[in-house]
Copies of this chain bind each other. A is one copy, B any other.
Amino acid sequence: VLPDRLRALTHLLARLPGVGEKTAQRYVLFLAGEEGALATDLGRELSALAEAVRPCERCRNLAEVDDLGHAICAICKDNRRDSALLCVVARVQDLLAVERSGAMRGRYFVLGRLLSPLDGVGPDELPLAMLAARIQQDGVKEVIVATPPSVDGEATALLLAQELAPLGVRVSRIASGVPHGGDLEFSDQITLGRAISGRRSVDVPR
């Protein structure tokens, strides 16, 4: 009933995360219906995307390609950042979340993936050489590993600590425990165990 072209577009849109055939068809009918201008604008932006945006050459955050063909992201360009502090995250989404917290004044490095032996992702799949080069070039003093507190995230943190030890850099890990506003009663055992083993002394103000 619908033109083949719209079915092809539906299949492509259904590859977006969390989008099934029904949602994709809803998008297609919207775009093909009253929103012809939106389809054209989106088409132009998406066609340019692969050429215009690439992982940053220094940290693998997303960056716009400049006139000389280089891709350096806004954070790597920012001179006010503390180069001695490097936060390692798994994904760009995680970098954005840490930035929103406002607690990180250093720079970042995006691994792109986590160590995951079950999925066949070993140490060779991680950009460890690029990370080591970055640490030495920038004179990084502390690497904060902000991978998620999951099995893969912990394994990756351990691997990084081992790999970076010869560089004489301090490797730290973000704290894991009961979240702000969370309830001890409904916290799982592992979270509560971590909250206790990661306890800190309470400083009394004099």
Contacts and interface: CB of A to CB of B under 8 A. Distances in A.
A29 B38 CA distance: 20
Given A12-B42, A16-B27, A32 B5 contact: no
A99 interface: yes
A205 interface: no
A197 interface: no
Interface residues of A, number: 53
Contact of A43 (B5, B17, B47, B61): B47
A18 B9 CA distance: 18
Contact of A38 (B8, B12, B26, B36): B12
Contacts of A41: 12
**Most interface-central of A30, A32, A73 (chain B CB within 10 A):** A32
A46 interface: yes
A70 to B, nearest CB: 13
A18 B74 CA distance: 31
A15 interface: yes
Interface in A46-103: 46-50, 52-53, 61-64, 73-75, 91-93, 95-96, 99
Given A31-B49, A39-B47, 17 more contacts: A3-B52, A3-B74, A4-B64, A5-B48, A5-B64, A9-B45, A17-B27, A18-B26, A26-B93, A29-B91, A33-B92, A39-B49, A39-B50, A42-B42, A43-B46, A43-B47, A43-B49
Interface of A: 1-6, 8-9, 12-13, 15-18, 23, 26-27, 29-33, 35-50, 52-53, 61-64, 73-75, 91-93, 95-96, 99
